Structure 1
Amino acid sequence: MPSLEFVTVDVFTQTRFKGNPLAIVTIPSGLGISTPTLQAIAREFNLSETVVLYESLEATADIPAWTIRIFMTEAELPFAGHPTIGTACHVMSTLAPGKSRAVLHCKAGPIEIEYANGVSRASIPHNVHVHIESPFTGTEVETLQPKLKGTELLNIATVSPVKGMNFIYIQLPDLEALALVECTGLKPAPTLDSAWNVGFCGSVFYVLGERSTTPGRAVKQSLRMRMIEGILEDPATGSAACGLAAFLAVKGGDRNVDFEMIQGVEMGRQSDIGVAVTLDRSAKAAEKIVLIGSAVKVMEGRVEYD
């Protein structure tokens, strides 16, 4: 019976059984496995995402590179944040020890990695789009989350960090309101802009925290967030964090913003997510988005397949 090596890591944490679990399945060089088989393996792990990591002859280069594919239980994704950080920490600590830079190639494009002291910084491929043709309404939010009825919704925006990944961002007034959010089983169904009407959609509820400014340095902004999609709550959603950070940076007009985001508290899996956003000269679009986080290994083994 053929089999593949795998590890699992908890991402956006340095504490096992916190953060967001990720399975990483390694495909030996020269071995071809069909997409349906890879999708079935991801479904068997039953995690929010599973990464397929292809062995690389470039692993010993000055700047090593690997190709990855990212699967949810039912579909493949062009990009996702916690799989990127988890895979980056894994390959840099085990396959390229001593190296500080690498490249991960995913379907959304190449991702440049910097690694030091157990922390990965990933320059995220992005094409941030704010949907404006048919805004999501407060009534629709209350339909998704009946316990929020009567709560002041400070801002609602539908944003895609890349095409195919879509999030409705709902700003709440305080942590008490954030605690009312629950997995209702209802999936958001926004009317996306016509050229962007494709892919996954989740709802993100967030509360802004402290904001600090230092002359000549990046603005620092903390916040708490939760990502809900039907019956799923995600402990850490890097792509959602990147989209939210870009949206808030443009909204505030600050050229450089460092975000410190905490997710997963309410489900007992606190995740610490960093996002550094640099805007272009117009301050109306993201020029660079860097996702920052760590990961810790939890399990290893082999998965058999037919």
Structure 2
Amino acid sequence: MTKYQIYTVDAFASQPFTGNQAGIVTMPSWQPIAEETMQKLAAEMNISETAYLTPVDHLGEQEFQQASRFSLRWFTPTVEVRLCGHATLAAAHVLVHELGNHNEELRFDTLGGVLVVRKSPHGHLDMTFPLDIPEPVSINENFKLLATSVFGYYSDQMQMELSPALRYLVIYDPQKSAQEIACLQPRVNEALEAGHRERVEIVIATGKGQQEDFVSRVFGPWCGIDEDPVTGSAHTVLAPFWNKRLQKSQFVAKQCSKRGGILNLQLDNDHVRISGSAVVVLRGSIEL
């Protein structure tokens, strides 16, 4: 049996029990965990993502403190995912604030490419993610059913766009206020087959904000998450979606789930910078 450090972190949060939970497992380069065990532990944790963090360069006992490049993998309770913003933020927070990593820039090798996190002069962590620009879909019965499962109806006024890489479906009804988006009572599980037919991974309901530029809610039963509290990866799709409508490149976004969270976004060519903070709520170890 080998002991590993494990943390539960609330990401995109400034106080405990808000934002989005992530499990972070620090996996030394000389003590790998089998992929099957990674998935089983993620199911045991039963939160939106459990991430496994490993230094790429073998630097001995101080590798978590000294390394600037890491391998990062994310698992929901049911599947491994290609991109996850909040667990990346949580992993960087653990490195900087729990393990004493002093590098100004951290690079993460992931299934979604190389992700960069930098320390902000304001105390936040700035993540740089590639954009996944959504494109309008040809409306068919599958997309109508997906819209109905979230909003309770389908309307010809709805705008629906699908991102090519992540397969995130954005649905926007200009008639819906931010408060109405927050009050939606979706039944997305009724549209599982429709989502499978269109290879949809996540459905995002979005609308114009009041204090914020835009709001959203994120539903992903196709990857084991009924509703994700705060979703960094969704904003690689939402930022270009709202850039076309608001003609802005800098946004304050709110994900209005029950836990909720605020994200600061800055478009930069084909990338988006996502800034946020995090709070560790549990520290422990596990033997595998």
Q: Shorter-chain TM-score: which interval?
A: 0.7 to 0.9
Closer, same or farther: CA 60–296 of 1 in aligned 2, 3 Å: closer
User: Residue 24 of structure 1: CA displacement?
Assistant: 0.2
Equivalent residue, structure 2, for 1:119 = 124
The reply on whether 1:226 has 2:209 as its aligned counterpart is no
Alignment of 1:93-104 (within 5 A): 93-104=97-108
Equivalent residue, structure 2, for 1:71 = 75
3-state SS of paired residue (1:239): coil
Percent identity reads 23
Amino acid at match of 2:286: V
The counterpart of 1:130, out of the listed 112, 130, 135, is 135
The number of residue pairs the alignment matches comes to 276
The reply on whether 1:278 has 2:268 as its aligned counterpart is yes
3-state SS of paired residue (1:13): coil
The counterpart of 2:252, out of the listed 249, 260, 267, is 260
The C-alpha deviation readout for 1:102-143, integer Å capped at 9, x for no partner, is 211111111111113431111103443425355678742453
- For 1:31 and 1:241, the matched residues in 2 are separated by 34
What is the RMSD of the two structures over their aligned residues, measured on CA atoms? 2.9
User: Residue 60 of structure 1: CA displacement?
Assistant: 5.4
Question: Gapped runs of 5+ residues in structure 1?
Answer: 212-220, 280-286
3-state SS of paired residue (1:249): helix
Closer, same or farther: CA 38–138 of 1 in aligned 2, 3 Å: closer
User: Residue 26 of structure 1: CA displacement?
Assistant: 1.1
The reply on whether 1:244 has 2:244 as its aligned counterpart is no
Is the Cα contact below 8 Å between 1:60 and 1:96 reproduced in 2? yes
- For 1:278 and 1:241, the matched residues in 2 are separated by 13
- For 1:258 and 1:55, the matched residues in 2 are separated by 33
User: Residue 51 of structure 1: CA displacement?
Assistant: 0.4
The counterpart of 2:92, out of the listed 88, 112, 124, is 88
Closer, same or farther: CA 142–131 of 1 in aligned 2, 3 Å: closer
Is the Cα contact below 8 Å between 2:27 and 2:53 reproduced in 1? yes
Amino acid at match of 1:262: K
Closer, same or farther: CA 138–92 of 1 in aligned 2, 3 Å: same
- For 1:207 and 1:142, the matched residues in 2 are separated by 14
More strand by share: 1
Is the Cα contact below 8 Å between 1:136 and 1:190 reproduced in 2? no
The reply on whether 1:202 has 2:202 as its aligned counterpart is yes
The reply on whether 1:186 has 2:177 as its aligned counterpart is no
Is the Cα contact below 8 Å between 1:19 and 1:264 reproduced in 2? no
Closer, same or farther: CA 139–129 of 1 in aligned 2, 3 Å: closer
The C-alpha deviation readout for 1:133-163, integer Å capped at 9, x for no partner, is 5567874245313x6338x675422322x62
User: Residue 88 of structure 1: CA displacement?
Assistant: 1.7
- For 2:177 and 2:83, the matched residues in 1 are separated by 31
TM-score scaled by length of structure 2: 0.83
- For 2:41 and 2:86, the matched residues in 1 are separated by 19
Equivalent residue, structure 2, for 1:49 = 49
Amino acid at match of 2:176: P
Amino acid at match of 2:253: M
- For 2:136 and 2:195, the matched residues in 1 are separated by 10
Amino acid at match of 2:266: A
Closer, same or farther: CA 271–165 of 1 in aligned 2, 3 Å: same
Amino acid at match of 2:229: P
- For 2:108 and 2:54, the matched residues in 1 are separated by 10
TM-score scaled by length of structure 1: 0.79
- For 2:24 and 2:88, the matched residues in 1 are separated by 11
Alignment of 1:285-304 (within 5 A): 287-304=270-287
3-state SS of paired residue (2:48): coil
- For 1:164 and 1:36, the matched residues in 2 are separated by 23
- For 1:191 and 1:298, the matched residues in 2 are separated by 35
- For 1:17 and 1:141, the matched residues in 2 are separated by 30
3-state SS of paired residue (1:47): coil
Equivalent residue, structure 2, for 1:284 = none
3-state SS of paired residue (1:92): helix
Equivalent residue, structure 2, for 1:149 = 153
Is the Cα contact below 8 Å between 1:89 and 1:115 reproduced in 2? no
